[in-house]
Structure 1
């Protein structure tokens, strides 16, 4: 076989059509200055190579027992290193999961912030409770927990099928006093064809359900027209495949309308892909491959992250998922994005912002791992909207000018209106403009409105204005005017907060604290940027 050769191929004359994701969001807006302004403090993350990051991870693993001792953890608690980020001033942010007597502690994750000399500066914990349980012996049998979990999922999802896996004993510390529990994964398929991998947490003593959340992140997207685009391809045998060696070996594969399996490689003899029309199976692949490349480049060049996990390894895009599947989703188990072909299999859901949105779910899973339920679920989904928007701005594709509308091209509701609006989320009829005590009870795609609105206010400010030919009018809860600090700075602040100061349990109040800390690291205490963060949160009623 001929060795792989990375290639950049221009696909001439393509109008890449895609259509809509029924549960994600994306699109960008053009706000202003395209020049990225450098932070004025030394808290900006360094761009770590894969080898440098691996070295930092090894160092953290070698000293994790000492770190646990310095943090005052109990004798049965151990730390598991998950991620590490190093700032220009030498501060290191090491993210840990935790075990108790060998059992995973759900909600026990933390980030330890260490000064250049090695001293611990502070710790961001998912729970402030002491992690301990009275007994490691469950009163409820695993089979009973599995049966209860399967019934819960079948009822709550109206799933076409639900299959409970063997429950795993864990310590649940994400809410209330830590308890011994079972984590039962129930695999199923929703009515629309979306796979589900629901975690049901059951109290191991009482048998009562404590919590549930889904591992599969779905999304609402948009029809995309990206024109002629460059692709990273590789020479294989007598032809070429959609394998991008310059971006961690990212592959785009063809599921051929199946709902399972890895998919088959697309091949092409002349390295010219697609026609721009959805009836050519390659067109969806071109769109997805292009979106993945732009997303990779954004995270590396703007945020200094080398791949979704920071390890330089590419993910996988799977196109032509299922039949008449009007959705797309990220699955951390396969480290892949899957895209349906839309109504009648005639409108592939493979847009640039959709790819960025889904890949950003992967970044969130590899860092803060925000639980996809309650307020943390809204922050998870909002993060994907924010970075989907950011990537679209970054790409500067003149066929799809940026804006702060989500899914404005798919017309999924049949009225020509966007799916969501970042300047005033309530315009979609379901999302929240402002935080209140009911926010956590909403679907994450609607509780995300508070995060999206915050990001818009931080970037652009409040009140009526026109940006890139689109009119906006963003309100504030207290009717006070908010001055934006610019989208470039807002992106930097959100990314640093996500990767260094958010944990699995972060709610909106904690997100405010995280972004204030991030802005302080980047731009100094009392700076206009820090004041802008505080004013934007005030504007969406998060105090």
Structure 2
């Protein structure tokens, strides 16, 4: 478990016992140790298939698709195209298919065939309608369908639109199946969100039958970041905080509970915020920004780089003054702060927590001693970089950690990267005793390194915040820019750091990473070496 604050900080002492006990509750319940699963439940567990096993299962299912189509009673003009295969521990196989009619995709014709080990079979279909159309020759020209689709996109006030060539389909998702065109219009929505508008046009009458935005988005008013875009999922009765564009990340309300997932946030409209929703908006937005930061800046898709999302839980406990990452549940959890009135869901905190997961999935820096300080610093570094990446006008990027959540009650941040000792406990420079202090404070020199490497020493003002960063050896540093500093730290973390990396090894690792990225004789390499010296790591 990784938290944003030190439990030794004076104003959070009263929360320390809750932190410890809650951690045990979360891990115990979610790991399954509290409740034994029944044999039936175990049998229904999907088997983990390797890439090769999954490929073989798909190939086998496609080979047998013709036979399967006949067995489930499809017509002679219909064929099945395998999309997925899931095998349960008890031998049941669930095969998901798309359907074609005379070679045309049948939209709304997908189905799942379930076959038990004994051979009994059942089918779940998207439609029970008989798939048949009088002709597959359209009377409407493709250009007319394209014009109709572009018009539909214009009505949505999308900008920078472009259309793919319409494709012939059979529309079976509603009513009697008809021959139609599907046209995808790409563009930009009013709020700057990408648009992929799918428009279905009757190929005989030209009537628009259906349209859908593939990029499902909403908006929400957050506590710290103002009005922000949200990617949500539409349901039959409204919307829910599930981000299908980013691995399916979900945001839950624990309702002051300390175990389980609580309730998935839902809303009748796609406009969020106010009351208990606001913390959920912050967490959902923070997770999306962090995903995009890692993907767009560092080329990493998801915390484990497997395209899968974690999830977020807000409103944890009662007066819980902390936030944490837990590898067991693969999730972020946020308390509501003093008097349950100040949720710890600011953007840099969200990115900080998710970055603990990245560290766990890569170097696995031990959470104690110097490696623990580097672990904490890594989350501060990427949390800061994500905050700058977001370019949010309400919560501007800065080198202050947790400045928005006011956990100290006096408007000061948790940590300062330009001069870590300003918090009263963190260290500015390395010393032989560094590994003996709390990891939230031994992170100081690495945070200082990142600031100096990014911005240089001395006094300067960035986004309205004034910094004055000193050096151990009184050297003057110019900095190489935050983008390069971020990439160097990430490459070192994922390529050279290990679980036991200390500050001396971190210096070696970042120099290797810099040599890889920019060359061993580059200005960047010299800057990295000089910056480590400037925090007394030689």
Please confirm whether the aligned pair reaches a TM-score higher than 0.5, indicating the same fold.
yes
Q: Hey, what does 2:324 align to over in structure 1? A: 329
CA spacing shift, 1:22–1:377, aligned 2, 3 Å: closer
Deviation at 1:405, TM superposition (A): 1.6
- Which structure has more relative contact order (CA 8 Å, sep 6+)? It is 1
1:477 equivalent in structure 2? 472
- Aligned residues: CA RMSD: 2.3
1:349 pairs, out of 344, 352, 357, with: 344
Give the TM-score of the pair, scaled to structure 2: 0.60
Q: Does 1:536 align with 2:535?
A: no
Q: Distance in 1 between matches of 2:319 and 2:4?
A: 12
Task: Give the aligned partner of residue 178 of structure 2.
Answer: none
- Do the aligned residues in 1 keep the contact of 2:374 with 2:503 (CA within 8 Å)? yes
Residues in 2 aligned to 1:492 and 1:21: alpha-carbon distance in whole angstroms = 23
5+ residue gaps, structure 1? 1-19, 25-156, 161-188, 199-222
Distance in 2 separating the partners of 1:409 and 1:267? 26
Which residue of 474, 486, 493 corresponds with 2:488?
493
Greater Rg over alpha carbons, structure: 2
The structure-2 alpha-carbon separation of the partners of 1:251 and 1:384, relative to structure 1 and needing over 3 Å to count, comes to: same
Determine helix, strand or coil for the equivalent of 2:271.
coil
1:2-401 matches, within 5 Å, as 22-23=5-6, 190=19, 193=22, 195=24, 225-275=224-274, 280-401=275-396
**Corresponding residue pairs, total:** 337
Question: Secondary structure of the residue that 1:522 maps to in structure 2?
Answer: helix
Against the structure 1 CA distance between its residues 423 and 224, is the aligned structure 2 distance closer, same or farther, given a 3 Å change threshold? farther
Distance 1:404-1:363 versus aligned 2 partners, 3 A rule: same
Distance 1:429 1:394, change over 3 A: same
**Which ranges of 4 or more aligned residues in structure 1 deviate by more than 3 Å?**
20-24, 157-160, 189-198
1:334 deviation in Å?
0.6
Structure 1 pair 192–464 and aligned structure 2 pair: CA distance change class (3 A): farther
Normalization by structure 1: what TM-score? Answer: 0.59
Cα deviations across residues 434-465 of structure 1 (Å, max 9, x unaligned)?
Answer: 00001001111000001000001100111122
Q: What CA distance in whole angstroms lies between the structure 2 residues aligned with 1:480 and 1:293?
A: 39
SS at match of 2:239: strand
Q: CA deviation at 1:282?
A: 0.9
Partners of 2:311 and 2:362 in 1: CA distance = 19
- Are the aligned partners of 2:426 and 2:441 in contact in 1 as well (CA < 8 Å)? yes
Q: Is contact 1:432–1:446 with CA below 8 Å preserved after alignment?
A: yes
Alignment correspondent of 1:124: none
Q: How far off is 1:417 after superposition?
A: 2.4
Secondary structure at the counterpart of residue 295 of structure 2: helix
- CA displacement 1:9-40 (0-9 Å, x = unmatched): xxxxxxxxxxx95449xxxxxxxxxxxxxxxx
Q: Matched residues in 2 for 1:256 and 1:434: separation?
A: 42
1:23–1:327 Cα contact (<8 Å) kept: no
Q: What is aligned with 1:466?
A: 461
Report how far residue 243 of structure 1 moved: 0.6
Cα distance in 1 for partners of 2:482, 2:337 equals 32
Per the TM alignment, residue 266 of structure 1 is displaced from its structure 2 partner at its CA by 1.2
| 1:468, distance to aligned residue in structure 2 (A) | 2.2
